[in-house]
Amino acid sequence: MTSRDYDIVVLGAGPGGYVAAIRAAQLGFRTAIVERAHLGGICLNWGCIPTKALLRSAEIFRMCGRANEFGVTRGGKTRVDLKTLVGRSRTVAGELNTGVGFLLKKNCVDVIWGEARIVGPGKLAVRKLKKASEHTEPSAPKDALGPGDYAAQHIIVATGARPRVLPGLEPDGKLIWTYFEAMQPPAIPKSLLVIGSGAIGIEFASFYCALGADVTVVEILPEILPAEDAEIAALARKAFEKHGIKIFTDTKVVDLEKEADAVTATIEFGDGKRQTIKTERAISAVGVVGNVEGLGLEELSVTIDKETIVADGLGRTNVPGIYAIGDVAGAPMLAHKAEHEGVVCVEAIKRLNVHGLDKLRIPGCTYSDPQVASVGLTEDKAKAAGRQVRIGRFPFRANGKAFALGEREGLVKTIFDANTGELIGAHMVGAEVTELIQGFVIAMQLEATEEDLMRTVFPHPTLSEMMYESVLAAYGRAIHIPPAAGR
């Protein structure tokens, strides 16, 4: 084996890629990772982490407006220092980027800098970057290896995804933004159109609304947050509209005209009627597509379907020695799913006793105000699958900790198989539910029944008590709400 021969080479240093590389090194594989822009990928540099830093600033700003409610007197008007706000977000991302480099180095993972192409079975050609990253200069580690030919017994494709572009709604970086531009605006627009109401669209709608923008959301489907339970999505919508966000569902943008410093959108409702909306800026948040181009996959006959690589539960493609994980391997396109897939893929290569990822047990989180979190089947999907269900609901307004926090709006909803008592779904809207959902994820992973959960002691006073009460409510045993309210 030469210095350019490896057991495993990972293409892409996002959450799935760098976690796979570290786990491979832990298992004794000689490992390298190829990256062309930033260690940590979109999630760490432009997605999950920096957006949460922005949302934290928006949360603090909104809470300042409620200071008197909590007996805190402020002097003067609360203002937003946008430069500092955005700068903090970028600093957080930068520090974590450095941390990923540190972890790779300490685990003896070689970093190869450039654009990779699979040129044959077990063969890679890494070329020098043709141009700088689209949004910022690439940040290569000082000791990164350069372009050249490399070899690996196993190649894991973890190249992630990029924003989907629809005809007529092409982002230009000035008037029509993707999440890249939305995270570092030169100024808070007075008005904003958000096209798409998935997690990305709703998070940005929540952020800009909190900072004073007049926000309008347009969604082509009948309800916002279409992946969520319909009851939870409806409650979230009421909360967003209470904050001042205007929401149009069953509506599509059919035209978007640019002016000097504004855009005019023509929207079409389900009944065919049309209306125009003029805003200073628009955000296109209509999903993402896998980065499958330029990797040599088609020449090797790797199966690609709907802009993502087809892989099994262990990350294996139809071509031996080539694997795919994370966003490039399809939905759900979540960082934690990518990380878990990376570990499963590498441990399967090592021939450890591993199980494929059960996608029904992957939690989903939206960090808006209020937050939304879920795992498992929605009520509609459970019933469509022919399951007999028992459903428990417990409102935030009946929880002491929620009262103390001043967070009285929200709901915890649990879904059980009526015949077996198995927990098959959990759905929440309200403060900090993205932290609560993992309790139900663990319960589902351990195949807990309602009896197991009822025997579990939850601390008081906490928001987590609502989880317990929701389980009780499914069986008519809730303590802190009248029986009819939980059925």
Whether the per-residue pLDDT at 17 is higher than 80: the answer is yes
- Residue ranges matching CATH 3.30.390.30 in the chain: 370-486
* The pLDDT of residue 373: 98
3-state helix, strand and coil shares in percent for the chain, rounded to the nearest 5: 35, 25, 40
- Residue 487 pLDDT grade (very low, low, confident, very high; cuts 50, 70, 90): very low
The predicted model gives 269-285 an average pLDDT of 95
> What per-residue confidence (pLDDT) applies to 146?
87
Task: Please tell me which residue in 135, 154, 460, 480 is annotated as part of the active site.
Answer: 460
pLDDT tens profile 24-37: 999 999 999 999 98
Mean pLDDT along residues 318-331: 96
pLDDT value for 382: 97
Q: Which amino acid is at 333?
A: M
Compute the mean pLDDT over every residue in the chain, rounded to the nearest whole number: 93
Q: What is the pTM of this model?
A: 0.93
* Per-residue pLDDT at 140: 74
- Tell me if 327 sits within 8 A of 288, measured CB to CB: yes
- What pLDDT is attached to residue 47? 85
Q: Measured between alpha carbons, how far is 214 from 211 in angstroms, rounded to an integer?
A: 9
pLDDT of residue 375: 98
Q: Is 460 among the catalytic positions?
A: yes
CA triple 119-125-128, angle to 5 deg: 145
Q: What is the mean pLDDT of residues 151-166?
A: 94
- Interacting residues of 409 by C-beta distance below 8 A, sequence separation 6+: 239, 370, 396, 397, 430
Q: Is the pLDDT of residue 486 over 50?
A: no
- Dump pLDDT digits (tens) for 228-259: 999 999 999 999 999 999 999 999 999 999 99
Q: Summarize pLDDT for 201-224 with one digit per residue, the tens.
A: 999 999 999 999 999 999 999 999
Q: What is the pLDDT of residue 129?
A: 80
Domain with CATH 3.50.50.60 in the chain: 5-162+289-359, 176-286
Q: What is the pLDDT of residue 483?
A: 80
**Parallel, antiparallel or unpaired: strands 5-11 and 31-35:** parallel
Token pair recorded at residue 12: 């892409």
Q: Say which CATH superfamily domain 370-486 falls into.
A: FAD/NAD-linked reductase, C-terminal dimerisation domain (3.30.390.30)
pLDDT in tens, 107-142: 999 999 999 999 999 999 999 887 655 555 566 777
**Nearest residue to 414 via CA among 454, 458, 386, 359:** 454
pLDDT at 485 over 60: no
Question: Could you give phi then psi for residue 471, rounded to 5 degrees?
Answer: -65, -45
Region 146-163: what's the mean pLDDT?
Answer: 95
Q: What is the mean pLDDT of residues 50-64?
A: 94
- Asked whether 278 and 262 are in contact (CB, 8 A), the reply is yes
Q: Any alpha helices (H) in 114-229, and if so which ranges?
A: 179-182, 199-210
Q: What is the pLDDT of residues 169-187, one digit of tens each?
A: 888 889 999 988 999 999 9
The CATH code belonging to domain 5-162+289-359 is 3.50.50.60
Q: Does domain 176-286 have CATH number 3.50.50.60?
A: yes
pLDDT at residue 136, as a whole number: 56
Q: What is the pLDDT of residues 354-384, one digit of tens each?
A: 998 899 999 999 999 999 999 999 999 999 9
Task: Please give the pLDDT value at position 61.
Answer: 93
pLDDT score, position 407:
96
